Structure 1
Amino acid sequence: MSALGQTEAWNDFRADDEPFGPFLRVVLTPAGTGRIHLKLPVRLPKENAEPVAPMKWLRNAAVSVMGMDGQLKTSRDAEGAVPDDEEPVEGAVYYFVAVSAAPHPLEFAVDMEMARARSHLSGSDASSRPRREERLKNELVSRHIHCCLTDVPSNICNPVHIIPFHKGDEWLQLLVESRPRSYDPNLEDLTELDTINDIRNAFFASPNVHAYLGNLQLVIIKTPNGILSTTDIPRDNRILTPDVEFPSDVRFTAQWIKGTNADRAVVPNNSDMSFAKGNGGQLSNPSPLLLEYMFGVALVKHWGYGQDFLGPEHRTNVRRPVSAPLDPTLKRKMREQKAAARGGRTAEGMSQLEAEELVYRLWCASAEGVERRKAAIAEEEAHENFRLDRLMQWRERTLHNNASEDRQSR
């Protein structure tokens, strides 16, 4: 354990965590700045990575929350990173240190004119939801045949949105803009990922699997991803039905972030997602960027501390989208989550709304996220200036024509 870990009190005790211990800590932000850290069960990197890669799994976890590449060290001024195969131990404290210069997330600010909210796009209009979801379900049946993690038949399965439907198109687009994931050599094409019902924002699952994915106890990790290779993740020996197969060059693996043994009976840990035989990439796979975002959100929701960062004194002027129209059930769920957030930490940790907001802000505060958002906002401003110029030209022509008509009438 580092000197800081030995001497500093950690305000992160919750009785409901104890069955999942022992724990280690990954400190994500520098001390003295409203430090954000993950208090993770030691079992997570042990169970979710091969013996050669537990520290790579922890590094991938930190990157998913922070939105920038970095190293894990035993202290911030340590010369080298922790070896990939070092075994995690109870009480250890690791520090995430960015490998490139970036604005500190607690100090980052944007000019006020850059903070204008974009108008809400109509792609997630509640009136079009049934038609869009029916089309999405048909696409997913073609891609997966049945539940992508079990063999439950398609007639009782439903689409599972990676970014929840109620977040709306604009939220998804802001995430796409937030960073280019430059540490991943296999970058996906995000140019047309602009609607919440895109097949890249969904997979097909049974109701039980859907429930655990929805509350982020179960997450999907895509490999390779620039940090983890396909061989860094253990494989569950799932026997497939004849109509589906595992892709040969990529894995989408379900991992438990917080679940009891009874929970885990629904889906064995490290189960890979299956796809229809012969699909051959005809239908796009789930988006690695969106999966990574929700992985970061899950870690923060269940194991994150330092939520004081969410206070008004620390909030960066990042654009915040208008929420999509909600049906009554979703409205009630959102009210319950907001009430839990006002009351402090829930039994599960941060509320999901808090976690989504925090990870989005951290992504936006990365150097790459800043540059991408500046470029996007500059493009919007250029479009707005062009519109205003055209409006002024029209007004001048109208005034000139009216003046001419007045002179002629005299």
Structure 2
Amino acid sequence: MSTSPSSLQPLPPVPDGHVGLVIPLDQNQLYLEIPIAQIQLLCLKPLKYLIFLAWCILGQEGSLAPDRPDHTPLQDLSGALLDPSLYYYIPAPISEAEGDLDGLVDLEVIKIKSAVPSEITTSRNDFRENILERDPLCVFSGAPEDSCQAAHIIPYARGSEWFQTIIQNRRPYEENVDDLTDINDVRNGLLLGLLHARFDRRMAVILKTPNHCLDVGDVPPRPVRPTVVLDPSVSYPTDHRYSLQWLQDPGLFMSSSFPNNLDAAFNTHSQQPKPSPLLLHYNYGASALRQWGRRLEPLNTHKYHTRPKAPQPAPMGPPKSNHNRTVAIHKRNAANNPNEPSTSNPTSCEQHRDWSEGIVQSEHHAPWDEHDLMFFILTNSPAAKEQRHKKEEEKRQSLEEWRQGIIV
């Protein structure tokens, strides 16, 4: 059962130039603090954009209510945001019968499974080849493929167990995801050049429109770039857009080279499917939490708050520290994120503040990152439970039909 706005804990005043967005989650609350100027760059209907953000994060339909005593949802979403202002997302009700059918998904179990290599039917090489068939050039800059990389939307390191759980618990709407099971599926990637690192760091996202909340016309028009000539082999989709958007200012060079709302172009004649809207929306929510999430400390006390240790292989001779990539990974993260706390010694008992304010890391308590938080929300929200109930009901009906066929 979702928490009503009136039962949520009081929040501090929203800073000038920002809008606050509160998203209820059981007895906790997610709180985003978003620069109004940034919203105006990304969407022509800022109130609809707030609903889109909450929908991406929670995976559940709902409405938007201003910070008033009655919390009456807004009917007109064409207006502007007040500076500063606070809004509450009101999830659409789900019946108690549907909400109580499934227990919580244990995040630790999924993490342990994901740490063990699972069956991946498509190799990394095949993944790149399939991407190149659809994206012969960087989809945003037109850079040649030899200077680009095949980027995963859901990171490859998360594993197929993690990937499949996302698909199973997210409502696909009109998209057919029945065969979307492999993390190296072409729908989980696209070809990127200089943007790849920013995309992995959740500074850049891709907004696919139309979607359940936003129409194509709600996004500012594609910027006119007279110096850029579209390659004859690629074209923009005619009925939808895959628009590049910056959730964090990338600096003058990147913002001028890759302006907001620049659209992706794909091989005109390719039969490969486009990037999955379901995965792009999920990634948009994760990126928003990373850039704008605040006051997430209540989730720190949840029963599934710990991050399990990766399974250790059986020892085969003396330990070889040069095979341990942990230090290299943390050094790389530190180089990519110079303003974030250093974790070069992840086993140290010295505590430090995490990106989400209030989640503390120590030797026995590694912090959640944006993917952990999104995964927990995804698998334990009322909408996710409803989705699992529907799948179980379909399975039950199929078994019943099979049983009736045997009896006859």
Give the one of 55, 65, 86 matched to 1:93: 86
Give the TM-score, by structure 1 length.
0.73
Residues 377-405 of structure 1, C-alpha deviations (whole Å, 9 max, x = no match): 89999xxxxxxxxxxxxxxxxxxxxxxxx
The reply on whether 1:225 has 2:220 as its aligned counterpart is no
The reply on whether 1:313 has 2:307 as its aligned counterpart is no
Q: Which moved more, 1:138-147 or 1:77-86?
A: 77-86
The reply on whether 1:35 has 2:29 as its aligned counterpart is yes
Residues 205-251 of structure 1, C-alpha deviations (whole Å, 9 max, x = no match): 10x21011010100011111111111111122244222210011111
CA pair 102-339 structure 1, distance change in 2 beyond 3 A:
farther
Give the one of 154, 174, 177 matched to 1:190: 177
1:148-227 correspondence to structure 2 within 5 Å: 148-181=139-172, 184=173, 187-206=174-193, 208-227=194-213
1:39-54 correspondence to structure 2 within 5 Å: 39-50=33-44, 53-54=45-46
Between the aligned partners of 1:115 and 1:373, the Cα distance in structure 2 is: 19
Give the one of 47, 52, 56 matched to 1:60: 52
CA pair 378-59 structure 1, distance change in 2 beyond 3 A:
closer
Residues 161-186 of structure 1, C-alpha deviations (whole Å, 9 max, x = no match): 001110011110010111224xx4xx
Give the one of 247, 261, 268 matched to 1:270: 261
Q: In structure 1, what is the equivalent of residue 248 of structure 2?
A: 258
For 2:387, the aligned partner's letter is R
CA displacement at 1:139 relative to structure 2: 1.4
CA pair 213-114 structure 1, distance change in 2 beyond 3 A:
closer
1:322-401 correspondence to structure 2 within 5 Å: 332-333=328-329, 343-346=352-355, 353-373=368-388
The reply on whether 1:24 has 2:9 as its aligned counterpart is no
8 Å CA contact retained: 2:169, 2:388: yes
CA displacement at 1:190 relative to structure 2: 1.2
Larger Rg: 1
1:235-314 correspondence to structure 2 within 5 Å: 235-238=222-225, 239=228, 240-262=230-252, 263-279=254-270, 282-313=271-302
Between the aligned partners of 1:372 and 1:322, the Cα distance in structure 2 is: 29
8 Å CA contact retained: 1:220, 1:254: yes
Give the TM-score, by structure 2 length.
0.73
CA displacement at 1:75 relative to structure 2: 3.4
Between the aligned partners of 1:80 and 1:70, the Cα distance in structure 2 is: 9
8 Å CA contact retained: 1:60, 1:228: yes
Unaligned stretches of 5+ residues in structure 1: 14-20, 382-410
CA displacement at 1:45 relative to structure 2: 2.2
RMSD: 4.1
CA pair 112-303 structure 1, distance change in 2 beyond 3 A:
closer
Unaligned stretches of 5+ residues in structure 2: 314-322, 335-340, 360-365, 397-408
Identity of aligned residues (%): 23
Q: In structure 2, what is the equivalent of residue 395 of structure 1?
A: none
| Higher helix content, 1 or 2 | 1
Q: In structure 1, what is the equivalent of residue 12 of structure 2?
A: 10
Between the aligned partners of 1:36 and 1:96, the Cα distance in structure 2 is: 10
For 2:49, the aligned partner's letter is W
8 Å CA contact retained: 2:63, 2:92: yes
Number of equivalent positions = 351
